[in-house]
Structure 1
Amino acid sequence: MRQTLCIICLAFLIFGCSKSSDDNIEVGENPTDIGNEGTDLGVELFFPQENMLCNEGTNLTPYESTVFFEWQANKSGNYKIVIENLSTGAIIERETTEDIIPIVIQRATAYSWYVQTKSGGKTEQSATWQFYNAGPGVQSYAPFPAVINAPNMAQSITATTAVTLQWTGNDVDDDIAGYDVYFGTNSTPSLFAGDISATESNVPVTSGTIYYWKIITKDSLGNASDSGIFQFRVL
């Protein structure tokens, strides 16, 4: 009798221990993955916001203000922020280990910015955002320079008789009136199509030729911005 009782107790203990360890693992979970965090560095920009008017910051003079640039990353690391003045092309670069940094920029000016981060030999770059830094007395802001989508800068493409130029336009005042398309084989292309509302245009091409193009974005109050000249080669 005592032998039978011992066997029953032993079986109960084995079953109970087995169940207890299983209860710590959810259905479908791999025990070897517990505690292993993801290693993606993904950087997400936070402020100044995309295609918006930035009116937060410390105004130093009528021409400059300090703006806090802020972003979020999956893992901490070393960051490099790159800011471009879209009017002059001047570049500001700063390196930091924080995810927020104050930088002095010009007021009433359009900028683009992105952040690079490096950790463990791996580098990633955020999306590129545009914004306008607010300025005193400004009632209307020029559109952002058009973002060129296709063809890419210096791209070589195969085409027969035509290529579709594509771009994106944005304006903090939301009053874009139209686009002028400049296109040709000269490095300073001439007007190809004016005052179009679409954000793409078909242009005739010939094999073995380099083409140049740009987009002028215009708003309802006569303000305009220049995308800068892009080029592509038709094979």
Structure 2
Amino acid sequence: MKRIYIIALVFIFAACGKGGNNSAPAPGKATLVAPLKDLTCNTGVILSATESSVAFSWNPAENTESYDLTIKNLLTQKDIVQNTPTPNATVTLLRNTPYSWSVTAKSSKSDTKTDSEVWKFYNAGAGITTYAPFPAELLTPTFGQVLPSGTTKINLTWKGSAVDNNITGYIVYFGPNSNPDVFRQRVTDSFVNDVTVSANTTYYWRIVTVDANNNISDSGTGNFFVK
């Protein structure tokens, strides 16, 4: 009987130890500060004709030991990830290039990671007086989404933004080919509704954003499948 009691205690202590990380408070959400959202970053230290160092900062998050700063080049879609124990970091980036950035709060006491909002900015370049729009963010259908059988109509939605707030329209490319043809031109809304689709077909789409200075940006190609 005594042996059974000891074994039961071992199981209890083991179970308590296993659940320790899950019972700790989750890290809070970091609030982004700089570079500012949807604006040109002119405060970086110029290192060369092509690069500058950019200072990132955010408000500290509760119950957090370290942060992952993730910076995405919106032209190449490549990420730079830098871990830091402080709510700031300085990173070397390409000039005259659009980026997005976000912060993930982490703690060794919790299995939960908490993501901040995602902000975009344009890292200024030499002699640039106007800037191309940010590449549009494809919203729905999501990348790789599988739509149920019986679907015959879908809505394409996206989000566009520009430093100069001067977007004049969008060119929508859509079709069953991996390099889709122009589907709509001079679209001034950020959606196209009631697009006809067929079963057992993969569709591809992308958005080209045009501004008042005839600068353009390309979202890159998304795809989805209709059962």
Aligned to 2:80: 92
Secondary structure of the structure 2 residue equivalent to 1:146: strand
Query: 1:173 aligned to 157, 164, 169, which one?
Result: 164
Aligned to 2:105: 117
Once the two structures are overlaid, the 10-residue window that deviates more, 66-75 or 98-107, is 66-75
Aligned to 1:47: 34
Q: Distance in 2 between matches of 1:184 and 1:85?
A: 27
Q: Structure 1 vs Structure 2: percent identity of aligned residues?
A: 39
Aligned to 1:134: 124
Secondary structure of the structure 1 residue equivalent to 2:135: coil
- Larger-Rg structure: 1
Whether the aligned pair in 1 keeps the contact of 2:26 and 2:113 (CA below 8 Å) is no
Query: 2:177 aligned to 163, 176, 186, which one?
Result: 186
Q: Distance in 2 between matches of 1:223 and 1:61?
A: 25
Amino acid at match of 1:173: D
Shift in Å at residue 39 of structure 1? Answer: 4.5
TM-score (ref. length: structure 2)? 0.83
Query: 1:102 aligned to 85, 90, 101, which one?
Result: 90
Q: Which runs of structure 1 show a deviation greater than 3 angstroms over 4 or more consecutive aligned residues?
A: none
TM-score (ref. length: structure 1)? 0.80
Q: Distance in 2 between matches of 1:160 and 1:98?
A: 49
Amino acid at match of 2:152: T
User: Alpha-carbon deviations, 1:111-159, whole Å to 9, x = none?
Assistant: 1111112112221112221110111110110000001111111111235
Q: CA RMSD in A?
A: 1.6
Shift in Å at residue 40 of structure 1? Answer: 4.7
Q: Distance in 2 between matches of 1:210 and 1:181?
A: 17
Amino acid at match of 2:197: V
Amino acid at match of 2:93: I
Q: Distance in 2 between matches of 1:196 and 1:39?
A: 43
User: Alpha-carbon deviations, 1:174-228, whole Å to 9, x = none?
Assistant: 1111100000111111110011101001221012211110100011111110101
Amino acid at match of 1:112: S
Secondary structure of the structure 2 residue equivalent to 1:225: strand
Structure 1 unaligned runs (5+)?
A: 1-37
Shift in Å at residue 90 of structure 1? Answer: 3.0
Q: Distance in 2 between matches of 1:227 and 1:113?
A: 17
Shift in Å at residue 96 of structure 1? Answer: 0.9
Secondary structure of the structure 2 residue equivalent to 1:68: strand
Secondary structure of the structure 2 residue equivalent to 1:169: strand
